[in-house]
Chain A
Amino acid sequence: MSDTIELLEAIGRNATLRHASVDELASILEQAKASEALKSAVAAGDSSLLSEEFGHQPNRVPQITNAPGHEEDEPDHDGDDKPHRPPDPGHSPPHKRTPHKQ
């Protein structure tokens, strides 16, 4: 059986495969000896069927709050809802002597 992650990556990076019809992709996956879960997911148009192979629960997705006031808890901050100046790109305070790491 072919590796499902490798097959998914191969589909994702190939212009023909990425936009192939369900029938075309099913035929290719059959030839590639894809897992039953992947073949089922493609045939049904339901990627949740892949969870049978990997057993994943859905991931949480929010990565931001919904109000600026929640985000800053620094005591000296003036006004929670004001837009914050973005950090100066590429510059760190000159008095700091911590070693740089990249």
Chain B
Amino acid sequence: MRKVWDIPGGVHPPENKAQSVTRPIASAGIPDVLIYPLSQHIGAAAVPLVEKGDLVLKGQMIAEAMGFVSAPVHAATSGRVTAIEERVIAHPSGMHAPCIVIEPDGENRWIEHSGLEDYTSATPAELLSIIHDAGVAGMGGAGFPSAVKLSTRPDTPIHTLIINGTECEPYITSDDMLMRERADEIVRGTEIIAHILGVSSIIIGVEDNKPEGIASLRSAAEHSAGIEVISFPTKYPSGGEKQLIQILTGQEVPSGGLPSALGIVCQNLGTTVAVHHAVDRGEPLISRIITVTGDSCREPANYEVLLGTPASHLLELSGQQPELCERLIMGGPMMGFALESAEVPVVKTTNCLLAPTRAELPPAAPQQACIRCGICAEACPASLLPQQLFWYATAKEYEKLEAHNLFDCIECGACSFVCPSNIPLVQYYRASKADIRRHHLDHERSERSRARFESRQQRIEQEEAEKQARRQARREAAQARAKEAGTKQPSRSDAAPDAADVIRAAIERSQAKKQAAAAQSQAQADMGIEPDSAQDAIDRAMAKRAAAAAAPKLSPVEQLQNNLASVQSRISKTGEKLEQARTTGEDTVSILESSVAKLEAKRDQILAEIEELGDS
């Protein structure tokens, strides 16, 4: 028997798993509509391969992967693409994102597909490409494409495969039911993954609150060499990848590193089944087991659900009473996120839909002051100091946060769970992490702009210096010439005709230039380019600007008053000019006089209008 280690911290929230294991896994059927977000995981979004109106078959790839960390998307049943549009997706932001919408035709026709006869004859690279094309992604956490996770680098040899069947979150039983009913498939998938990685040691880790699942898995793994099914005490969050590795091996993944640094690869239990289907049957990942539970559901159960099914369809199946439920959680109560609407489609990472009643999961009580009780520090599985982090997060002291290892926080929520002052600690950490990442990005950017700014300054200075130098050189040359001319002082009369020649030559040159310019502008006109397009554009823009300036809606009186002001300023300006003209005795006097008279008449008119408006 393998030794099992303990992790620091951890909590024991009420498990609430019994409700949903009473019924066997049922098929959720084909919903009215299937919605496929193009971005289902971290990494680049997939690119649609179909267009609106296309007919698709079950298992057909409808969007292909873009880039290394990306996975394709497949249709879960046959039907017609009715739209490719923005829909609300399963994301904590509640944002909309491009989705392919399919209306099933009910025939459920498969695309042609076939699996490998014998996977052991295939090379790891071939198997990886099958897994990649089948769109298999981590079905527990962030949905990291499995093919990427299983591609090992030669410099980090892998010796241990850990299959994560912990399922430490309360309520969720999808992995438990999978173990009870499909242990053979899990073992088969595990063997395939082990073959790809070439590992000898395979551990399936399960919490000891799933005795039936463990028994079923053990009997399935009996004939499979090297697979150990290890059970360990139930504690949240032992299902975190890092925590599971610590429990099963006693080793810690170095901060900022990956388990592969220890020679370990972790895979989710559900992923093994998906791998088995992809390799042995040639079926892409188009369905998964989802727990639908919570007190507002009359019949909490596990369903085999086509990916893309709206949450509302599943809730209906389980007899959920919407009037009892004011929040809908995708995932578990510890790390799941609340959905804004039940129209969100399930994705590859959805393991649970939790529809609790108000009494079951009451809304958070208002936050009180931190009393430094340290209960959070005792609960933290990463041995962080949550209360210090909270303090620095509220003060936005990013350096301190990093010094206190904020980025080793796995966001399990154990600290928030136990906090007697109801402080949403983990939310502070999530936000601070994002802020710090942004801060670093901004800093990088600002460093770049500083470099650009400085090089620009340098360039301008250099240009200025060069100009100065040229001017200096010219001046010196002129002085030298002048000196030379000075020495030739006596023959000045000789020089005079020379100077006249120079002037004439210059005039000729400038005339030639003008002609050339005229010719060019003619040519431009011939080519349909308005020679004055720039000037016109400027005029247009000026007009637009003026229009924009006038745009603020002024009352008639205000407009008139504006007019009045401008007329008055013009009168005073013209009056000044008139005075000037009179003193100098210019002949514009009469013109100016008449214009002043005109302006004054205009002013009187405006005044009259204002009065009129004021009266009415």
Asked if A and B are interacting partners, one says no
Give chain A's interface residues, CB within 8 Å of chain B: none
